[in-house]
């Protein structure tokens, strides 16, 4: 599936001096709160929401592309001196919505010189999904770091779900099905017609 890029954004991206910043949005958490931060030097109003420039985002690691279907996770780290994430982690944050978006600045003045292009169609979604895992660690300077793993959009493709059955389970669920009778009797070969009566 291809991603459509607006004409304005395409023109800005062709400039080798293009500048950008990131908008981080997570929530709602258990208490109804949201994390809205921008890596820009000033607060940003995007889609009628205010993103604080007091950004604590330390790193964003996107998965390495290993093939046609990328199943790696996105990892983010936040400096959390005030332990803002602590209560969120204690009450559980798996499944909380998360979005990371790149906003580009019109450095050439094609549309509005040195101003961010904040129309949704002129931004790029870096990640949109849910929180998958989280933990705390300490930096070399003893700063608390909140690490949040964002679920891979295609991660469920790597899940293996085993169907565990027994002879008794089959008799309870499907009394007329005798396919498991021979399997549990011994090691003789048996041709099974799965899904057939």
The mean per-residue pLDDT over the stretch 132-149 comes to 92
Q: What is the pLDDT of residue 28?
A: 95
Asked if residue 77 lies in contact with residue 143, where contact means CB atoms within 8 angstroms, the answer is no
Q: What is the pLDDT of residue 1?
A: 40
| Domain range 7-158, its CATH number among 1.10.3470, 2.30.110, 2.60.40, 1.10.1740 | 2.30.110
**Is the predicted pLDDT of residue 21 greater than 80, yes or no?**
yes
Q: What percent of the chain has pLDDT over 70?
A: 76
Q: What is the pLDDT of residue 165?
A: 66
pLDDT band (50, 70, 90) for residue 2: very low
**Is the predicted pLDDT of residue 151 greater than 50, yes or no?**
yes
What are the Cα distances from residue 153, in Å, to 20, 71, 78?
24, 7, 22
**Is the predicted pLDDT of residue 97 greater than 70, yes or no?**
yes
pLDDT band (50, 70, 90) for residue 162: low
pLDDT band (50, 70, 90) for residue 187: low
**Is the predicted pLDDT of residue 35 greater than 70, yes or no?**
yes
Q: If you average pLDDT over every residue of the chain, what do you get?
A: 83
**Is the predicted pLDDT of residue 26 greater than 70, yes or no?**
yes
DSSP per-residue letters across 58-91: EEEEPPPP-SSS--PPEEEEEE-TT-TTHHHHHT
State how far the Cα of 180 lies from the Cα of 112, in Å rounded to an integer.
71
Strands laid side by side in the 35-38 sheet: 35-38, 19-26, 97-105, 124-138, 144-150, 74-79, 57-61
The residue among 95, 103, 102, 90 whose CA lies nearest residue 146 is 90
> What are the E-state strand segments in 39-153?
44-46, 49-51, 57-61, 74-79, 97-105, 124-138, 144-150
Each domain of the chain, given as residue ranges in start order, spans 7-158, 160-190
**Is the predicted pLDDT of residue 100 greater than 50, yes or no?**
yes
Write phi, then psi, for 20 (nearest 5 degrees): -150, 170
């Amino acid at each position: 599936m291809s991603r459509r890029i607006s004409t304005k954004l395409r023109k800005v991206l062709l400039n080798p001096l293009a500048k950008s910043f990131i908008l981080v949005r997570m929530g709602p958490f258990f208490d109804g709160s949201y994390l809205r931060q921008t890596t820009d030097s000033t607060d940003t109003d995007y889609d009628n929401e205010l993103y604080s420039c007091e950004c604590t985002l330390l790193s964003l690691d996107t998965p390495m592309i290993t093939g046609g279907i990328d199943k790696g996770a996105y990892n983010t780290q936040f400096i959390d001196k005030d332990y803002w994430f602590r209560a969120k982690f204690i009450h559980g944050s798996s499944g909380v919505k998360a979005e990371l978006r790149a906003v580009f600045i019109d450095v050439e003045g094609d549309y509005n010189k040195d101003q961010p292009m904040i129309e949704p169609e002129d931004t790029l979604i870096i990640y949109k999904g849910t929180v998958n895992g989280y933990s705390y660690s300490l930096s070399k300077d003893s700063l608390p770091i909140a690490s949040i793993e964002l679920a891979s959009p295609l991660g469920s493709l790597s899940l293996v779900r085993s169907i565990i059955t027994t002879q008794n389970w089959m008799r309870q669920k499907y009394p007329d099905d005798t396919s498991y009778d021979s399997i549990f009797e011994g090691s003789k070969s048996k041709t099974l017609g799965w899904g057939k009566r």
